[in-house]
Amino acid sequence: MKEKTIVAGVVVVLASALVLAAGTPDVVYVAVSIAFFGLCIAYAEGCEKL
Amino acid sequence: MNATLGWIQLALYLGVLLLITKPLGLYLIQVLDARGRTWLDPILGPLERLTYRLGGVDPAGEQHWKAYTISMLIFSLVTMLVTYAILRLQAILPLQHLLNPQGFSSLPDHLSFNTAASFVTNTNWQSYGGESTMSYLSQMVALASQNFFSAAVGIAIAAALVRGIARDSAQTIGNFWVDLVRITYYLLLPICLVYALFLVSQGMIQNFKPYDAAALTEKETVQVPRNDANGNPVKDAQGNPVMEPKAVDTQSIPEGPMASQMAIKMLGTNGGGFTNANAAHPFENPTPFSNFIQMLSIFAISSALTYYLGRMVKSPGHGWSVWAAMCLLFLAGFFVCWHYEAAGNPILTSLGVDSADGNMEGKEVRFGITNSALFATITTDASCGAVNSMHDSFTPLGGLVPLFNIELGEVVFGGVGAGLYGMLVFVIVAVFIAGLMVGRTPEYLGKKIQSFEVKMSMLVLLVLAMDILGFTAWACVSDWGKAGLNNNGPHGFSEMLYAYSSVTGNNGSAFAGLTASTYWYDTTLAFGCLIGRFLMIVPIMAIAGSLAAKKLVPPGPGSFPVSGATFTFLLIGTVLLVGALNFLPALTLGPVVEHFLMLAGKLF
């Protein structure tokens, strides 16, 4: 599960970076919102492991 | 208002609050139980069941804390994106003549993001003037519905945490969808219906009319920023906006569906105003009675939740002890704020202004010193953020109170749900400290407090401090941060600190004086809201899950008593200690130094 969380986090960060580099502001804000909530789910996984 | 009337009003306020706490708490017990019965069942029961059927929800099925949290996160994400879309498409959505009679254009992307993040987190920070920006459709569908949803989410999280404390060796803490539906249908909607009618009876508007125009008896000329052909502000070589004179001979009188939004704005501790002046506007707060009821409704649910806590954990005394701690912290803040606002500004006194008037700058004369100080304390104790006076114009130490209230985590009654779950984090810390002091294993209501709960509590407190101080520090050293300031020195610093404290605490009130509707401010403030809400809720839900799974041990002679005066003062001490350790250095650089400079004759 830990590996899955790390991979999910990296994917989210990379996808966000890609959108930031190429997207319009609307796409950036929507993608960043989705990424934030995705990270919150990963954060919940992380909290459980602490 | 003289001091005697102020004391009478305070006593009346606390008396009525105390009076409604138990009945509303009893009602909450039924609402927050999936099998609970209320007198609204014959009307709302079919609607509730239909909602479950349409949503594919099994009301009997409960969720593990992680499933509960993920449901809440997904719901928040979806509603945030819908809000963003409505604001971005405001100018082209249907029924423009009825729901956007002023023809307001769509909001810019950064402002839409800021507003969507702000309303989904129950913050309602407003980088816009409501009456000059939002269509009626945006006010009703995007903003008012978020007011209901974000309030319901807060109460649901608090209920889940209380279930976690109360249950014995359980794997589940309730069902998020059931909590959301029941809180919205049985608690918020019925009260808001009656509340909105009451506000209309006091003179608040509720219509779909276009704005009225009134001819000014005295025409005047004002300076406004000059715009180019594309509508962008023209700037000079130094980057300052170029101003031009504009003759003004009419005044626009806002109209719109105000009462329906104001009811949930106060009851749900949202705080986002229909107008820019918020509850200082005569339409949004027409009478002293509406002012009193608005203040009461800010604390009502949060106060009742303490009773709910006591009953659910089978220790009513514990619920009342938490209530007492909140009440004493509220009174302390109010007395400090009231004292300094009533004392006024010594520099103005030396110029001949009667000191008996106190500090009336930025205050609505209908409300005066006491009602302004009381409203400011209440709105920042809770995570409401509605204002009936301008906090930026308070004396330095009078303004310190709202700021410090927010930085304590808004646990003094607090936002609906958020106040209780925030305070329970402090309870865990207090119990842990007490356990360390007497050399016993910390125990809370028959549950052992172990390293996991303490780590999660520390995470919550660290997120609070880092979100506020990190963003403030960044803004202080950035060109974009300093460009937004309209005041320099410690007052400018206070404006920045207040802004990031407000969004992190999901309060939403502004110290004002800060031009925040820029890409950088809108975006960083939006993240302040999101971090301050969800990165705190997740560890709190982890605590709920952990406590639910623990075996309930009957209290014995070695158990730490969590009711009574000793516990109440320990809890107050913990809240103040954590707040002071985290934020006193920053407060010293802002309002404290400004106070001493004011005494030395310098204003900012």
Residue in A26, A34, A44 closest to B69 by CB? A44
Calculate what percentage of chain B has a pLDDT beyond 70: 100
Residues of A in contact with B113 (CB under 8 A): 29, 33
Cβ contact (<8 Å) for B81 and A30?
yes
Residues of A in contact with B541 (CB under 8 A): 44
Residue in B73, B76, B455 closest to A50 by CB? B455
Classify residue A49 by burial, with Cβ atoms within 10 Å: 0-12, 13-18, 19+. exposed
What integer pLDDT is reported at residue A4 of this predicted model?
Answer: 67
* DSSP per-residue string spanning A1-50: -HHHHHHHHHHHHHHHHHHHHH--HHHHHHHHHHHHHHHHHHHHHHHHH-
Distance CA B540, CA B546 (A): 10
Distance CA B383, CA B390 (A): 17
- pLDDT band for B218, please (50, 70, 90 cuts): confident
Residue in A29, A33, A45 closest to B77 by CB? A33
Residues of A in contact with B425 (CB under 8 A): none
Distance CA B102, CA B194 (A): 29
Does residue A20 sit at the B interface (CB-CB below 8 Å)?
Answer: no
Residue type, A42: A
Residue in B77, B88, B459 closest to A34 by CB? B77
- pLDDT band for B472, please (50, 70, 90 cuts): very high
Q: Reduce the DSSP state of residue B120 to 3 states and report it.
A: helix
Q: Is the pLDDT of residue B519 over 70?
A: yes
Would you give the end-to-end CA distance of chain A in angstroms? 13
Average pLDDT value for chain B: 93
Enter the tokens of residue B370: 């006491």
pLDDT tens digits, residue range B368-398?
Answer: 999 999 999 999 999 899 999 999 999 999 9
B391 CB neighbour count, 10 Å cutoff: 26
Q: What is the pTM of this model?
A: 0.92
Q: Is the pLDDT of residue B70 over 90?
A: yes
Residues of A in contact with B157 (CB under 8 A): none
* DSSP per-residue string spanning B548-581: HHSPPPPP-TTSPP-SSHHHHHHHHHHHHHHHHH
Q: Is the pLDDT of residue B599 over 70?
A: yes
Search chain A and give the residue with CA nearest B66: A44
Search chain A and give the residue with CA nearest B539: A47
Residues of B in contact with A41 (CB under 8 A): 70, 73
Torsion of CA B594, B599, B601, B604, to 10 degrees: 20
Interface test with A, best of B77, B83, B523 (most A CBs within 10 A): B77
pLDDT tens digits, residue range B418-463?
Answer: 999 999 999 999 999 998 888 888 899 999 999 999 999 999 999 9
Residue in A26, A41, A47 closest to B73 by CB? A41
> Cα dist. A40→B262, B527, B538, B597, B598 in Å?
31, 13, 8, 44, 44
Interface test with A, best of B454, B463, B534, B540 (most A CBs within 10 A): B534
Cβ contact (<8 Å) for B109 and A29?
yes
Which residues contact residue B118 at a Cβ distance below 8 angstroms, ignoring those fewer than 6 apart? B124, B125, B126, B272, B503, B508, B525, B526, B529
Search chain B and give the residue with CA nearest A45: B66
Q: Is the pLDDT of residue B523 over 90?
A: yes
Cβ contact (<8 Å) for B77 and A29?
no
Q: Is the pLDDT of residue A16 over 90?
A: no
How much is the average pLDDT of A4-12? 70
Enter the tokens of residue A22: 């190429």
Distance CA B32, CA B308 (A): 9
- Range name among B59-68, B339-348, B351-360, B589-598 with the lowest pLDDT average: B351-360
Distance CA B294, CA B292 (A): 5
Residue in A25, A40, A41 closest to B109 by CB? A25
Distance CA B143, CA B139 (A): 5
pLDDT tens digits, residue range B226-235?
Answer: 888 877 778 8
pLDDT tens digits, residue range B252-268?
Answer: 999 999 999 999 999 99
Q: Is the pLDDT of residue A1 over 60?
A: no
Cβ contact (<8 Å) for B81 and A37?
no
Search chain A and give the residue with CA nearest B79: A33
The predicted complex's ipTM stands at 0.90
Q: Is the pLDDT of residue B335 over 70?
A: yes
Residues of B in contact with A16 (CB under 8 A): none
Cβ contact (<8 Å) for A40 and B109?
no
Which residues contact residue B314 at a Cβ distance below 8 angstroms, ignoring those fewer than 6 apart? B166
Q: Is the pLDDT of residue A2 over 80?
A: no
Q: Can you say whether residue B387 is alpha, beta or left, with left for phi > 0 and alpha for psi between -120 and 50 degrees?
A: beta
Q: Is the pLDDT of residue B539 over 90?
A: yes
Enter the tokens of residue B561: 């008593």
Search chain A and give the residue with CA nearest B89: A26
Longest dimension (CA), chain A: 38
What integer pLDDT is reported at residue B373 of this predicted model?
Answer: 95
Q: Number of A:B CB contacts under 8 A? A: 54
Half-sphere exposure (CA, 13 Å, Cβ side) for B118? 35
- pLDDT band for B514, please (50, 70, 90 cuts): confident
pLDDT tens digits, residue range B190-205?
Answer: 999 999 999 999 999 9
Search chain B and give the residue with CA nearest A44: B538
Cβ contact (<8 Å) for A50 and B452?
yes
Residue in A26, A30, A41 closest to B70 by CB? A41
Distance CA B186, CA B299 (A): 18
Cβ contact (<8 Å) for A40 and B81?
no
Residue type, B590: G
What beta strand segments (E) does B375-415 contain?
A: none
- pLDDT band for A21, please (50, 70, 90 cuts): low
Residue in B70, B109, B538 closest to A47 by CB? B538
- Range name among A25-39, B23-37, B148-162, B223-237 with the lowest pLDDT average: B223-237
What integer pLDDT is reported at residue B169 of this predicted model?
Answer: 93
* DSSP per-residue string spanning B234-293: PB-TTSPBPEEEEEEEEEEE--SS-HHHHHHHHHTT----SSTTGGGSTTTS-SHHHHHH
How much is the average pLDDT of B355-366? 87
Cβ contact (<8 Å) for A29 and B74?
no
Residues of A in contact with B456 (CB under 8 A): 47, 50
Residue in A33, A41, A43 closest to B535 by CB? A43
Residue type, B539: P
Classify residue B149 by burial, with Cβ atoms within 10 Å: 0-12, 13-18, 19+. buried
Q: Is the pLDDT of residue B1 over 70?
A: no
Residues of B in contact with A26 (CB under 8 A): 88, 109
What integer pLDDT is reported at residue B315 of this predicted model?
Answer: 94
